[in-house]
Amino acid sequence: MAIQSAKGTYDILPKDISKWHYLEDIIKKTCQLYNYKEIRTPMFESTELFIRGVGEATDIVSKEMYTFLDKGDRSITLRPEGTAGVVRSYVEHKLYSEPNQITKLYYMGPMFRYERMQRGRTRQFYQFGVEALGCEDPSVDAEIIALSVRIFKSLGLKEVKVAINTLGDKESRLNYREALIKHFKPIEKELCKDCQRRIEQNPLRVLDCKIDKTHPAMETAPKMADYLNDYSKLFFEKVLSYLGDLKIDYELDQNLVRGLDYYNHTVYEVMSNAEGFGAQSALGGGGRYNGLVEEVGGPDIPGVGFAFGMDRLLLALEAENIEIPIQDDIDVFIVSMSEKTYNYAFFLQEALRNNHVKCEKDYFNRKVKAQFKQADKLNATFTIIIGEDELNNGRISLKNMKTQIQEEVNLENVVNEIIKRLEVKDE
Ligand code: HAM
């Protein structure tokens, strides 16, 4: 039996790769505009990093990690997300060494989570993310939201909703945590198994449980807003005011807590509202994580960032019927009439490529008709037809595949003649 791709993984085939290149290109250009620099970190890290960084009580760490011992008995984990690795690298390479410096980083690549599969949820998926480290100014929180909204706009996505909340600073969050434990403890038995565990470990997560969301205790649960200290309140007001200045629409969602432990202050998520997008509506999310750098062994340096599922962004484009401009035509197909001209075709195609002309030739000594068929299939703008007589006379035929007009040109000028015609086409 033929071997199939591992469960939860999928191949991105050549017919689909242009969509990815298009998305990656928009992401790169937008990040450059905001002066974020690319960072590439390993796809696996020591398990300890995610336990300390993402948090032992989170679903990601407790249930979803691909963890194994390597041959040296080290516990290794395939990265389930990008932030922990980026922060590890930031600390390891002391990217913070200069004072008053903001370090703005972005990344794209595969992440791995052992999750129950469904449309938009796979075990290897692709994230694009940004992390801004070294600055606790609320304008940075607003900037990363603006950056993500700009990417949606560039892609043409309209049905997106930004939901935002604050978890406050450490002190506010601790007070809120106590209040939640007090609220949920007496009705503990009525909640799902996961929530029973969460009450002590991370009671904020009870608030966004999908199973218990209709339990009356959710409605009456204490609200974060009532536990924010002045600094946290002011911080969040500033973030919202910056978003207002940029006319970015958002919805306040007091139950938005996010599934990773490292957040404080701003948290946000972006959902697709497009019809037929499916249950996995979160395109991405992020927030502030002051304290994470220290957790990973570095100094007390603040950070804020987000990540988007690239697979989901492409699904959202599909759901909104947005056509991606695909550019995989070729400029020239070289048709050779006989075996003798075959060698010349090989030489000519390299000469064309030296001049950045995208071309292809026949590799199978096929009949002329089959070669023209291939030229059509590849969407060639021109064909060059080389026959033995023409080769001896120093003349060669050029055919415009759209107009079907065929003309003869001098063999030694053929590259220039093609370039001239392609330039006219591009104008
Ligand atoms: P996250 O919410 O766990 O955040 O993941 C971000 C996005 O990754 C999700 O909204 C979703 O689009 C995509 N995603 C997650 N799991 C899957 C999956 N199994 N299949 C397909 N797509 C998936 C983080 O990962 C944080 N590191 C974000 C962050 C960066 N916060 C601060 N900086």
Supply the pLDDT for residue 56: 87
Supply the pLDDT for residue 280: 73
Residue 346 has pLDDT above 70, yes or no: yes
The first and second tokens of residue 37, run together, are 């620099």
Percent of the chain whose pLDDT exceeds 70: 99
State the distance from the centre of ligand 1 to the C-alpha of 308, rounded, in angstroms. 6
| Mean pLDDT of all residues in 326-348 | 91
State the distance from the centre of ligand 1 to the C-alpha of 286, rounded, in angstroms. 8
Give the residue whose CA is nearest to atom 12 of ligand 1: 309
State the distance from the centre of ligand 1 to the C-alpha of 285, rounded, in angstroms. 7
State the distance from the centre of ligand 1 to the C-alpha of 284, rounded, in angstroms. 6
What's the CATH class of domain 330-426?
A: alpha beta
Q: Which of 31, 81, 88, 295 to mutate to test the pocket of ligand 1 (most atoms within 8 A of CB)?
A: 81
The per-residue pLDDT for range 108-164, each reduced to its tens digit, is 999 999 999 998 999 999 999 999 999 999 999 999 999 999 999 999 999 999 999
Least confident of 57-61, 231-235, 384-388: 57-61
State the distance from the centre of ligand 1 to the C-alpha of 32, rounded, in angstroms. 22
| Helix, strand, coil distribution of the chain in percent, nearest 5 | 45, 20, 35
| Closest approach atom of ligand 1 to CA 60 | 3
Residue 391 backbone phi and psi in degrees, to 5: -60, -45
**Can you name the residues that pair with 252 across neighbouring β-strands?**
164
| Mean pLDDT of all residues in 314-342 | 91
| Closest approach atom of ligand 1 to CA 307 | 28
Supply the pLDDT for residue 265: 96
Residue 268 backbone phi and psi in degrees, to 5: -150, 160
Tell which wins on pLDDT, 206 or 24: 24
Residue 278 has pLDDT above 70, yes or no: yes
Supply the pLDDT for residue 257: 86
State the distance from the centre of ligand 1 to the C-alpha of 225, rounded, in angstroms. 25
Give the residue whose CA is nearest to atom 11 of ligand 1: 309
Least Cα distance to 329 among 378, 383, 376, 384 occurs for 378
| Closest approach atom of ligand 1 to CA 115 | 19
| Closest approach atom of ligand 1 to CA 286 | 31
Least confident of 133-137, 276-280, 309-313, 354-358: 276-280
Give the residue whose CA is nearest to atom 15 of ligand 1: 309
Give the residue whose CA is nearest to atom 31 of ligand 1: 286
- Note whether 344 and 359 are within 8 A (CB): no
What is the CATH code of the structural domain delimited by 14-169+229-319? 3.30.930.10
| Closest approach atom of ligand 1 to CA 82 | 27
Supply the pLDDT for residue 268: 97
Q: Which of 112, 114, 125 to mutate to test the pocket of ligand 1 (most atoms within 8 A of CB)?
A: 125
| Closest approach atom of ligand 1 to CA 80 | 25
Least confident of 277-281, 316-320, 346-350: 277-281
Residue 353 has pLDDT above 90, yes or no: yes
Computed over every residue of the chain, the mean pLDDT equals: 94
| Closest approach atom of ligand 1 to CA 120 | 21
List all residues 6 or more positions away from 4 whose beta carbon is below 8 Å from its beta carbon: none
Residue 201 — pLDDT band, cuts 50, 70, 90? confident
| Mean pLDDT of all residues in 175-197 | 91
State the distance from the centre of ligand 1 to the C-alpha of 19, rounded, in angstroms. 20
How many other CB atoms are found less than 10 A from the CB of residue 354? 9
Supply the pLDDT for residue 232: 97
Residue 200 — pLDDT band, cuts 50, 70, 90? confident
| Mean pLDDT of all residues in 391-412 | 93
State the distance from the centre of ligand 1 to the C-alpha of 283, rounded, in angstroms. 8
Give the residue whose CA is nearest to atom 17 of ligand 1: 121
State the distance from the centre of ligand 1 to the C-alpha of 110, rounded, in angstroms. 11
Supply the pLDDT for residue 426: 63
Least Cα distance to 53 among 304, 291, 265 occurs for 291
State the distance from the centre of ligand 1 to the C-alpha of 162, rounded, in angstroms. 15
- Note whether 193 and 159 are within 8 A (CB): no
Residue 197 — pLDDT band, cuts 50, 70, 90? confident
Q: Which of 50, 116, 127, 260 to mutate to test the pocket of ligand 1 (most atoms within 8 A of CB)?
A: 127
| Closest approach atom of ligand 1 to CA 127 | 8
How many other CB atoms are found less than 10 A from the CB of residue 222? 16
Residue 261 has pLDDT above 90, yes or no: no
List all residues 6 or more positions away from 404 whose beta carbon is below 8 Å from its beta carbon: none
Residues with CB under 6 A from ligand 1: 81-83, 113, 115, 120-122, 125, 127, 129, 131, 259-260, 282-287, 289, 305-309, 311-312
| Mean pLDDT of all residues in 346-364 | 96
**Identity of residue 54:** V
Give the residue whose CA is nearest to atom 18 of ligand 1: 121
Supply the pLDDT for residue 363: 94
Question: Domain-by-domain residue ranges, the chain?
Answer: 14-169+229-319, 330-426
Least confident of 55-59, 88-92, 229-233: 55-59
The first and second tokens of residue 350, run together, are 């390299």
Supply the pLDDT for residue 425: 66
Give the CA count within 13 Å in the CB-facing half-sphere of 40.
2
Supply the pLDDT for residue 122: 97
H-state helical runs in 131-281: 138-155, 170-184, 193-201, 216-219, 230-245
Residue 354 — pLDDT band, cuts 50, 70, 90? very high
